[in-house]
Amino acid sequence: MNHYQVLIIGGGTAGITVAAQLRKKDKNLQIAIIEPSEKHYYQPAWTLVGAGTFDFKDTEREEKNYIPKNVTWIKDSATDIIPEKNTVKTAENGDIIFDYLVIAPGLVMAPELLPGLTEAMEKDNVCSNYTDPEKTWKVLQNFKGGNAVFTQPTTPIKCGGAPQKIMYLAEDYFRKSDIREKTNVIFATPGTVIFGVPDFAKTLNKIIIDRDIILKTYYAPIKIDGEKQEITFRYINSDIQECAKNLRPSIGEELFGDTEIKIKYDMLHIAPPQQAPAFIRNSEVSLKEGPNKGWVDVDVNTLRHLRFPNIFALGDVAALPTAKTGAAIRKQAPVVSGNILHLIKNGDLDKNIYEGYSSCPLVTGYGKMVLAEFKYNNVRDSDPLISKLVDTSKEQYSMWLLKKYGLPIMYWDMMLKGRA
């Protein structure tokens, strides 16, 4: 069969959750998922893997165990979307026709967008939780002091807080290993602040001061020299005087020209540049211009495509002004599944809308976590029940327990089963 009522591209968090919700609400729908991978990963735990406090094997399960019953699994890769013909092209199964399409393939790592990164990642002192969290743990264990640099690219990335989570855990680990006094912990970000939501930023700024972490804002990485152990940043604030004024010779910062800064590192953790998969970027469904170029063009509240009314997108690939997280998908999936069912049965959209909810469980050390929940425009959106019990804008042991034990159970047993 090459025609389905609902065709879903991607068997990750978003694709499986939407399929499970649709199947629960209507057992007669003809649904298929295009997904080439046999493995499914719980990536939020990779932060903890990188800090030696979670087993990587426990983040990996068989994809076949999570494809909902009576949903067809097309074990293949999508290669193109032809929206005008309601067609998805695949690598091995030819053309597949849909009535409704859900685009949820996630994003891809693009280290090639940062000169020198691919080569540097092969070195023993450069790591990334985004690609190999077990290597991060080895790098932390082998680190003997010096400059520990943590940074992120200017592209959108999944879980925008992850680059600083591993930085807090590493700093805590260096204390426990008695090498903190001979270590400069440097967090360099292209962002203007440590975190966009004021309540959580206040807590994080205090942690940075109290723990003597060197925060560098407006620092956009532009190249890496793995042989020399140097990373070069461009200072992207228009106030160039500020750049020179804030240089720290004590960590070996050097200014080149007006806006380029080199820092030597003894270890480097980096989130690689990230982008939508090539078949999305090349398809009509993506934006071709502007800040969201390459991502899928959807309405920010309904998640319906702005030009093709039988297409929806959610998760990392959607052009939405909020953080790309699994928690965001938990709120997006009911909107997408509800809208599709409503369109099939009534010819119009459901009343449910997505308000930009996302969540960043900010692990700030072993046994400590700030649960940052927010929606569009950086408005705090904390869970009313949890907020009655604890102040989630402060470091809490209970939130650490939630991160390490509660959220994985919620993911595997509830979200992916269409129950949350």
Which residues participate in catalysis according to the annotation? 159, 360
Rounded to 5 degrees, φ, ψ at 124 are -75, -10
Label each residue of the chain as H, E or C.
CCEEEEEEECCCHHHHHHHHHHHHHCCCCCEEEECCCCEEECHHHHHHHHCCCCCHHHHEEEHHHCCCCCCEEECCCEEEEEHHHCEEEECCCCEEEEEEEEECCCCEECHHHCCCHHHHCCCCCEECCCCCHHHHHHHHHHCCCEEEEEECCCCCCECCCHHHHHHHHHHHHHHHCCCHHHEEEEEECCCCCCCCCHHHHHHHHHHHHHCCCEEECCEEEEEEECCCCEEEEEECCCCHHHHHHCCCHHHCCEEECCCEEEEECCEEEECCCEECCHHHHCCCCECCCCCCCCCECECCCCCEECCCCCEEECHHHECCCCCECHHHHHHHHHHHHHHHHHHHHHCCCCCCCCCCCEEEEEEEECCEEEEEEEEHHHEECCCHHHHHHCCCCCCEHHHHHHHHHHHHHHHHHHHHHCCC
Do you know the residue count of the chain?
420
Written as one letter, the residue type at 305 is: H
* Short-list 29, 104, 102, 107, CA closest to 68: 29
